[in-house]
Amino acid sequence: GAGVSQSPSNKVTEKGKDVELRCDPISGHTALYWYRQSLGQGLEFLIYFQGNSAPDKSGLPSDRFSAERTGGSVSTLTIQRTQQEDSAVYLCASSFPGYLQPQHFGDGTRLSIL
């Protein structure tokens, strides 16, 4: 597809379970970002990958959150031992490198923790 693809689109899970969210960026985009959108906190930056460089993890809210990017393309965001406050929409974006490049967003994964 032409855009950023995220899966699943919706995920409902019980508190304490682990979840994996997937992001397939636009082909050729070396920069990949994860954000979280919630009613209380708005849009928050989580993590940034650029090519094969070590990711900028400065936005991850706790050590239960981790992300990887395999082969410079697909990325997975993993949340371990989910808590109710993890309920949010998780958005992925990709772009060409450089700070003047617009970010292209997927439609997100809506995560609900019961």
Partner 1 sequence: SQQGEEDPQALSIQEGENATMNCSYKTSINNLQWYRQNSGRGLVHLILIRSNEREKHSGRLRVTLDTSKKSSSLLITASRAADTASYFCATLPGGGADGLTFGKGTHLIIQP
90 binds partner 1 (CB under 8 A): no
| β-strands 109-113, 10-13 pairing | parallel
27 binds partner 1 (CB under 8 A): no
99 binds partner 1 (CB under 8 A): yes
100 binds partner 1 (CB under 8 A): yes
Q: Say if residue 90 is exposed, middle or buried (CB neighbours under 10 Å; 0-12, 13-18, 19+).
A: buried
Instruction: Please choose, from the candidates 96, 97, 105, 104, the residue with its C-alpha nearest in 3D space to the C-alpha of residue 37.
Output: 105
Q: Residue 42 CB, nearest distance to partner 1 (Å)?
A: 5
Interface with partner 1 by CB under 8 A: which residues?
4, 31, 33, 35, 41-48, 50, 56, 58-59, 91, 93, 97-100, 102-108
